Amino acid sequence: MKLRPPQEGDFTSPTHGPRVSARIGLWLGIAFGLCFVTGLISHGIQHPAAWFTWPSRPVNLYRITQGIHVTSGVAAIPLLLAKLWSVYPKLFGRPLVRSVPHALERGSILVLIGASFFELLTGVFNVAQNYPWAFFFPTAHYAVAWIATGALLVHIAVKLPVIREALSRRRTEQRPATGALTRRGFLLTTGAAAGVAVLATVGGTVPWLRNVSVFASRSATGVPINRLASAAGVTAADSSWRLRVGEVEFSLDELRAMPQTTADLPIACVEGWSASATWSGVPVRDLLRRAGLPAGSDLRVESLEKGGLYRSTTLPGTHTDDPLTLLALRMNGEELTLDHGFPCRLIAPSRPGVLQTKWVSRLEVL
Amino acid sequence: MRWVIGTLGVVLLGWGAVELLPVVADSPLSLGGWLLGGPVLHDALLAPLVGVGGAVIARVLPKPWRAPVGAGLVLSGVLVALAVPYLWRTFSGPVTPGLHDRPYLAGLLIALAVVWTGVVIAGLLGREKRGKRGNTPATP
C-alpha cells in the first residue's frame, strides 16, 4: 500500500458532517454564550464603567454567575473537541483556497479555533492557579474572549444556511459506524463527556457535589485561604491598630462594642470556587453613619497589605448601603484568624472574593 | 440577518484585537504559542490519534464492545486533560489551606475506574442483547 496524505473523501465515518456538527455547534454556542456573558459581568464588577452597576442581592448572585462562567467553560472543552472532530475532514479539502472569500473564511476559522482553545485552556489552568505563560492572564483572557466571540459570530453568519438545513432536516437512516461509534453514539458520548467534565469540577462551588468532583479546586472542609498573611506581608495587628473611617478612628474594642450583624455570606472566587460562612461584624453602613459620612457613598477600602493587586479596592454605593455589607470580626462563631483577615475584613454580598479585602485599615469616601 | 451577525462579529473581533495589543507588545511569543498551540496540537496530533483509535477499535474489537470502549476512551481523555493543571504544577502558585490540596492523582484514578467499570458493564449488556436476538455474526 502506498502512503499518501488523507483526502476529504477518506473520512467515511457518520460522526462527520453537518448533521453532527450543527447539533454540537448549537450546544457549544450556548456554552460559549453563557461563558462570555458571565465573563463580561465579572469583568464589569472588577473594572466598572461609569454606567455599570451590579446589585448586592441576591447574596449568591456572583457565586452563581461565576460558577456558570467556569462550568460552561469546562463543559465547552469536550464540546469543542467533538465539534472539531465532526468537521475534521474539511481540513483536507482541496484546493486549499478557492477564492478570496473562501480564504477569509478559512482564516476566520483558524482565528476562531485558536482563540477558543486559548480561552478554555488558559481558563482551566488559571482555575488551578497554574500559570505556564508570560502574559497577565486577566488582560489576555478578556481580550481573546472578544476575539473568540467575534469569530464565532462571523462563522455563524457564514454557515447559517448549512446550520438551518442540518437542524431542520427530518430523520434520515443511521449510516453504519466505520469506526467505534455511530452518529447517535457520537452525540451521546459527547454529551456524556461534557457531563463528566462538569461533574468532575463543579463541586468547587456546588456543596453537595464536593466529594464527587475529583478536580474541584477547593477541598472538602473549611473556608479556603487564597492569600496567606505571610504571603501578603501582614503581621498580627497590636492594640495600637485603628480602623480609620474618613477622619474618625475606631479601636478593635470599640468595633466589638458596636451592634453586630450576623449573616451567612459566600466567598465566591473569580476562579469559580465558593464557600459559605457565618460572618459577624459591624455593617459598613453603620460605620459611615458614625463617622458622619453620607450613606451609599462609593468607598475605597484599604488593607494593611503593603503591596499586591488587591491592596486597595473600591466598594460601590449599592454595596455600602446594603445592611449585610460587613466589616467582619468573626467567622463561624470565632474571632478571625490572621490568615482570614484579622483584625477585620470586608465581606459583602454578591461580590468577587478578590474584592473582599482582608486586614482592613481604612475606609475612605471616593 | 446574516450580514447583521457577520458585521457584529467583525466589530467584536476588532475590539478584541485592540484590547489584545498590550499583551502582543508585552509577551508576543508566549501569547502566540498559546494561540496557535491548540489548533496545531489538535490537527496534527489529537485528531489523527482519535481517527486511528477508532479504526483500530473497529478492526480489533467485537461489535458489542466497540461503542463502549470508544466512549470510554473519550471520557478518559477528557478526565486526563482536566487533571493536567492539577498534576503538572511547575508554574503554579503555592498551595494554600483548602485550595488545590486534594489528592488529584488518586481522584483521577478513581474517576477512570468508574468510567471503565461502566464500559465493561455496557459491553457485557450489549453482548447479552445480541446473544438473545440470536444473530451473532463475528463481523458485520
For chain B, the average pLDDT equals 92
pLDDT tens sequence across B74-100: 999 999 999 999 999 999 888 888 898
Q: Is A147 on the interface with B (CB under 8 A)?
A: yes
Listed by start position, the domains of chain A span 8-209, 229-365
Residue A305: CB partners within 8 Å, gap ≥ 6?
Answer: A232, A233, A234, A311, A358, A359
Q: Residues of chain A with pLDDT > 90: what percent?
A: 83
Q: Give CA B78 to chain center in angstroms.
A: 4
- Cα(A344)–Cα(A330) distance, rounded to whole angstroms? 8
The reply to whether A8-209 and A229-365 are identical in fold is no
> What are A241's three cell numbers?
491598630
Q: Is A5 on the interface with B (CB under 8 A)?
A: no
Q: Residues of chain A with pLDDT > 70: what percent?
A: 98
Total number of domains in chain B: 1
- Cα(A280)–Cα(A103) distance, rounded to whole angstroms? 62
pLDDT of residue A178: 84
> What are B46's three cell numbers?
489529537
Q: What HEC string does B80-138 produce? A: HHHHHHHHCCCCECCCECCECCCCHHHHHHHHHHHHHHHHHHHHHHHHHHHHHHCCCCC
pLDDT of residue B139: 47
Does a structural domain hold residue B76?
A: yes
Does the distance separating the beta carbons of A128 and B16 come in below 8 Å? no
DSSP A240-299: T--EEETTEEE-HHHHHHSPPEEEEEEEE-TTS-EEEEEEEEEEHHHHHHHTT--TT--E
Least confident of A308-317, A322-331, A354-363: A308-317
Does the distance separating the beta carbons of B22 and A179 come in below 8 Å? no
Domain with B105 in it: 61-140
What is the CATH architecture of A8-209?
Answer: Up-down Bundle (1.20)
Does the distance separating the beta carbons of A91 and B93 come in below 8 Å? no
Helix/strand/coil for A300: strand
Instruction: Give the minimum alpha-carbon distance from B41 to chain A in angstroms, rounded to a whole number.
Output: 10
pLDDT of residue A173: 66
The residue in chain A having the minimum alpha-carbon distance to the alpha carbon of residue B10 is A150
Q: Is A270 on the interface with B (CB under 8 A)?
A: no
The pLDDT of A257-277, averaged and rounded, is 95
Q: Which of A110, A150, A12, A271 is nearest to B92 (CA)?
A: A271
Of A13, A132, A157, the CB nearest to B9: A157
The pLDDT of B39-57, averaged and rounded, is 95
pLDDT of residue A5: 84
Show residues of chain A in contact with B107, CB under 8 Å: 214-215
Residue A315: CB partners within 8 Å, gap ≥ 6?
Answer: A284, A298, A299, A300, A301, A325, A346, A348, A355
pLDDT of residue B117: 98
Number of Cβ atoms within 10 Å of the Cβ of A130: 21
Residues B121 and A250: beta-carbon distance below 8 Å: no
Does the distance separating the beta carbons of B53 and A130 come in below 8 Å? no
Task: Return residues 13-52 of B near A (CB < 8 Å).
Answer: 13-17, 19-20, 22-23, 26-27, 29-31, 34-39, 42-43, 46-47, 50-51
CA angle B37, A81, B72 (to 5 degrees): 120
Residues A53 and A316: beta-carbon distance below 8 Å: yes
Cross-strand partners of A334: A331
Number of Cβ atoms within 10 Å of the Cβ of A217: 25
- Cα(B99)–Cα(B107) distance, rounded to whole angstroms? 15
Helix/strand/coil for A157: helix
Instruction: Give the minimum alpha-carbon distance from A190 to chain B in angstroms, rounded to a whole number.
Output: 8
Does a structural domain hold residue B65?
A: yes
pLDDT of residue B138: 47
Q: What predicted TM-score, i.e. pTM, was given to this entire model? A: 0.94
pLDDT tens sequence across A281-314: 999 999 999 999 999 999 999 999 988 888 999 9
Element (H, E) at A362: strand A360-365
pLDDT beyond 80 at B45: yes
pLDDT of residue A310: 86
Q: Which of A234, A273, A279, A297 is nearest to A352 (CA)?
A: A273
Residues A210 and A216: beta-carbon distance below 8 Å: yes
Of B3, B19, B57, the CB nearest to A180: B57
pLDDT of residue B135: 52
| CATH fit for domain A229-365, picks 3.40.1110.10, 1.20.1740.10, 3.90.420.10, 3.40.50.300 | 3.90.420.10
pLDDT beyond 80 at A110: yes
Show residues of chain B in contact with A93, CB under 8 Å: none
Does the distance separating the beta carbons of B108 and A81 come in below 8 Å? no
Q: Is A178 on the interface with B (CB under 8 A)?
A: yes
pLDDT of residue B140: 44
Does the distance separating the beta carbons of A189 and B70 come in below 8 Å? yes
Instruction: Give the minimum alpha-carbon distance from B108 to chain A in angstroms, rounded to a whole number.
Output: 7
Residue type for position A14: P
Does the distance separating the beta carbons of B1 and A160 come in below 8 Å? yes
Helix/strand/coil for A62: helix
Task: Return residues 75-114 of B near A (CB < 8 Å).
Answer: 75, 78-79, 81-83, 85-86, 88-94, 96-102, 104, 107-108, 110-111
Element (H, E) at A215: none
Instruction: Give the minimum alpha-carbon distance from A177 to chain B in angstroms, rounded to a whole number.
Output: 8
Does a structural domain hold residue B108?
A: yes
Least confident of A79-88, A140-149, A213-222, B119-128: A213-222
pLDDT beyond 90 at B37: yes
pLDDT beyond 80 at A2: no
Q: Which of A193, A156, A169, A175 is nearest to A11 (CA)?
A: A175
Number of Cβ atoms within 10 Å of the Cβ of A64: 16
What is chain B's alpha carbon radius of gyration, rounded to the nearest angstrom?
23
Does a structural domain hold residue B37?
A: no
Of A114, A160, A193, the CB nearest to B74: A193
For chain A, the average pLDDT equals 93
Q: Is B118 on the interface with A (CB under 8 A)?
A: no
pLDDT tens sequence across A174-225: 778 888 899 999 999 999 999 999 999 999 999 899 889 999 988 867 899 9
- Cα(B41)–Cα(B35) distance, rounded to whole angstroms? 11
pLDDT tens sequence across A114-128: 999 999 999 999 999
Instruction: Give the minimum alpha-carbon distance from B37 to chain A in angstroms, rounded to a whole number.
Output: 8
pLDDT of residue A172: 67
pLDDT of residue A36: 98
